[in-house]
Amino acid sequence: MISFNWPWIFLCLPLPWLAWRLLPSNGDVEEAALRVPNLSSFSLRAEGKSGKSAAPRYRSWIGALAWLLLVTAIAQPLWIGDPLELSLSGRDLMLAVDLSGSMQTEDFEIHGTQMDRLDAIKQIAGQFIERRAGDRLGLILFGSQAYLQTPLTFDRKTVNAMLQESAIGLAGAETAIGDAIGLAVKQLVQHPQKNRVLILLTDGVNDAGAVDPIKAAELAAKEGLTIYTIGIGADEMVVPSLFGNRKVNPSSDLDEKSLTEIAKVTGGRYFRARDTEQLDQIYAILDKLQPVDRDQHTFRPRKSLFYWPLSISLLLAGLLLFSNVRRQ
């Protein structure tokens, strides 16, 4: 159906007619000062009605049509389509990613290429984000402090772009897990209780920040926030030394006990990602979380049509102008 943004503009339609009727024409003023030599000449002048009817009738109709189309264009005509339903899967999902110095440890491998922990998260979590159509996503980056990088949004491309642009040490060299959870609670507290999910990825232990992680988890549980924690890092890594290669545990600082407790308190789960394959499997499991249904949202597509009447009006006005030039 067709609608108008400014229908009151049509009240201007009578303006040319009112001007024609009420304002004196140039012909009237000039005729008052003329001397008429004979009656027949005066008769011809009278029949012309002071020049108001001198133009051919078709030119008057073209002018009226051009004015009608111009007013129609100014009224902003719109084509409004049938209502369409938007199906939302119904989850508000916040990602919290550790950017502390230990995330630069290169104990992950993708397609034969050795890479650090953050790069592995970027690649696999980026794919996870792209699959979350219908969810509102947000991104928190934390190190010595926690920062909200992207508020909750349906724009998955922006969230992924912000993740890809993150850098190790951007938020400090330490790990403030409690602050990250507290910030997530603050962002999610105004949304429906069953829709709140936090996925927290870290490779260390809470050694910074003002909030204890377990206390933050208890607060999250009271607010209905479910936390899924992921411990990042391999159990074994070969490094060179003065006496040849030796095996070390690059994840010796990972506080699995606290991460497990955080997930347990909030009704979530703790996952251990020792390599990219396990990390990918974890995100596949998270993909299977049952979404909470939301009310259906509907919208009616709109398309502006003003350029059609405007183009025709300008064309008719051009024809009238060309006709006047030829007559002269």
For residue range 235-280, list pLDDT tens digits in order.
877 666 666 676 777 778 889 999 999 999 999 999 998 888 888 8
Q: Are residues 142 and 96 in contact, defined by beta-carbon separation less than 8 angstroms? A: yes
Predicted confidence (pLDDT) per residue in 152-179, tens digit = 998 999 999 999 999 998 888 899 999 9
**Mind listing the domains of the chain with CATH numbers?**
2-82+300-327 (no CATH), 86-287 (3.40.50.410)
Amino acid identity for residue 266 in this structure: T
239: β partners: 246
- Residue 82's pLDDT is 79
Average of per-residue pLDDT across 180-186: 95
Predicted confidence (pLDDT) per residue in 96-143, tens digit = 999 998 898 888 888 888 889 899 999 889 988 988 877 889 999 999
Percent of the chain at pLDDT > 90 equals 38
Split at pLDDT 50, 70, 90, the class of 227 is very high
Amino acid identity for residue 259 in this structure: L
Higher-pLDDT residue of 209, 112: 209
What backbone torsions phi and psi does residue 185 show, to the nearest 5 degrees?
-60, -45
Predicted confidence (pLDDT) per residue in 20-36, tens digit = 888 776 555 455 444 54
Res. 193: pLDDT tops 70: no
- For residues 320, 321, 323, 324, the Cα torsion angle rounded to the nearest 10 degrees is 120
- Residue 40's pLDDT is 46
Q: Are residues 209 and 200 in contact, defined by beta-carbon separation less than 8 angstroms? A: no
Residues 6+ apart with CB under 8 A from 126: 160, 163, 164
